[in-house]
Amino acid sequence: MAMWRSMDSGWGVAAVRVVMGLIFVHAGWNKIAAGFGVVASNFAKMGMPMPGLTGPFIALLELIGGALLVVGLAGRWVGLLFALEFIVAAFVVKLPTVGFAGTRLDLLLLAGSVLLFFAGSGRLSVDEVWLERRRA
């Protein structure tokens, strides 16, 4: 029982951060490769607000924000941006149209984003090195 209390939860946060980052880099790259016009059109079909603006913004956020998550830079801020994205995606766009079954991944990414906002980037991150250096 004492072993579990001695484990550092920062490693679990790091695992969530890196996997989310890889998912977002992949999704962002696919959106950008398809072109901003296609992304805006797809966002319009899904009922996303202001698709001409939000489509390209989300594509860039996912690519750049995902890369920032992989290295653990600005994890709290990126987590906040992704949390806002997935509040809209899950509750405004997907839940009313496709129900819970089609919203599960969005809700999971929302939960991970909230974790990163509250817990920070965790271990093996640029944030950890910079924050520890500032405290010393």
Report pLDDT for 27.
98
b vs e for 80-93, b when ≥16 Cβ sit within 10 Å of the residue's Cβ? bbbbebbebbbeeb
Kindly report which listed range (3-17, 39-53, 63-77) carries the lowest average pLDDT score.
Answer: 3-17
Distance CA 60, CA 70 (A): 15
Distance CA 83, CA 112 (A): 8
User: Are 75 and 69 contacting, i.e. CB atoms less than 8 angstroms apart?
Assistant: yes
Distance of CA 16 to the CA centre of its chain: 10
Percent of the chain with pLDDT strictly greater than 90: 82
Report pLDDT for 131.
73
Distance CA 121, CA 108 (A): 17
pLDDT band at 127 (very low <50, low <70, confident <90, very high): very high
Residue 132: how many CB atoms within 10 A of its CB? Answer: 9
Amino acid at the residue 23: I
Report pLDDT for 130.
85
Segment 69-123, tens digit of pLDDT: 999 999 999 999 999 999 999 999 999 999 999 999 999 999 999 999 999 999 9
